[in-house]
Structure 1
Amino acid sequence: MANSASIESYLHFEGYDSLPRDIFDKKKIRAGMRKAGRLVMQRAQMNLALARGAEGYPVNRTGATLESVSFKVSRSGFLVKVAPRKTSAMSEFYPAYLHYGVKVGRRLGKLAPGKGKGKSNRRGAGVRAAALAARSAGEWRIKPRDNYMADALQDSKSEVQAILSAAFAAALS
């Protein structure tokens, strides 16, 4: 399972780093980024729809997760971000729950009056750490799912590099 902030979900290609951004035609760069973003978005939606819960991906029941996957080109045009976003059909942003998982049990809160030690009603030494360790060692209520976004990028890596290389080459002339 890939972490969303890991290097697996990031693609960088060499060759144009030393050139200043001002010499590129930004319309052509943005068009290439949109094309690459659309390709990765469609691949992620396809991975999610065809897996049907297999391979560690979430199950597609209502289609809300499929519809939430979209892409956005940055203002400068030199970056595209493909990710699930919260839509109006979602009451909570549950792709985060699917990716990171949820443990059984609730979070530790304040102690009830009179349940702790002393005037300030504190927990005993090591009680909080033991409770947190017991919760983290417990079972999953929702098991973490695989990162279908990172897998879609890895599946279409060569195609994305070809699209972006062509866009950067066309933007220079």
Structure 2
Amino acid sequence: MTQRATFAAHIHVEGFDQFHRDAFDRRKVRAAFRKAGQLVRQRAQLNLGLSGAGSNYPRRITGVLRDSINARVSRSGFMVKVMPDKTAGMAEYYPAYLHYGVKQGSRVKGTGGKRRAKGERQSLIAARKAGGWRIAPRANYIADALEDEDARVRAVLRAGFAKALG
């Protein structure tokens, strides 16, 4: 599992950098990226489906998060995004809360125009940081899926780019 601080992961396929985008058949490139996105989406859904008490992924209770993961190819066809979408089954869009976590306690707010004693704000912030997690941060199941499927995704994209040139 990866312990990155970012919510995004990417992969770069080398060997086709010297060609201009117009040299490729876009339909074939889009098909290759659609297949690569499908591989990563399926692996991310598997990561969530198999998560249990021992894993650092969000636990599957209803399956709404697992079913909301979609792969979307860009308009140009040279990029695919795999991410959870907000569905009708979600009251709130919560994947970011699961990844970054939520600290216990409320935010330190202003006092409504009154002056605080010197150092009081810092002590309130320190007390909040020392508190526990209301929702503990979870691992990035999509970035881990990309790492797990790295070889297959590269092979699909290389074959797609080679078909699109010829």
Q: Distance in 2 between matches of 1:26 and 1:4?
A: 30
Residue number in structure 1 paired with 2:92: 92
Residue number in structure 1 paired with 2:32: 32
Residue number in structure 2 paired with 1:126: 119
Verify the 8 A CA contact 1:103 1:142 in the aligned structure 2: yes
- Sequence identity of aligned pairs in percent? 51
Q: After the TM superposition, which segments of 4 or more aligned residues of structure 1 sit over 3 Å from their partners? A: none
1:57 is displaced (CA, Å) by 0.8
More helix by percentage: 1
Paired AA for residue 26 in structure 1:
R
Structure 1 gaps of 5+ residues are 113-119
Structure 2 gaps of 5+ residues are none
**Structural mapping, 1:146-157, within 5 Å:** 146-157=139-150
1:5 is displaced (CA, Å) by 4.3
Greater Rg, structure 1 or structure 2?
1
Alignment partner of 2:55: what SS? Answer: helix
Q: Distance in 2 between matches of 1:17 and 1:130?
A: 53
Residue number in structure 2 paired with 1:168: 161
1:54 is displaced (CA, Å) by 2.7
Residue number in structure 2 paired with 1:52: 52
Q: TM-score, normalised by structure 1?
A: 0.89
Q: TM-score, normalised by structure 2?
A: 0.93
Residue number in structure 1 paired with 2:82: 82
Counterpart among 114, 117, 134 of residue 141 in structure 1: 134
Verify the 8 A CA contact 1:4 1:150 in the aligned structure 2: no
| Alignment RMSD | 1.4
Alignment partner of 1:56: what SS? Answer: coil
Residue number in structure 2 paired with 1:115: none
Verify the 8 A CA contact 1:3 1:147 in the aligned structure 2: no
Residue number in structure 2 paired with 1:116: none
Q: Distance in 2 between matches of 1:126 and 1:86?
A: 41
Q: Distance in 2 between matches of 1:78 and 1:54?
A: 37
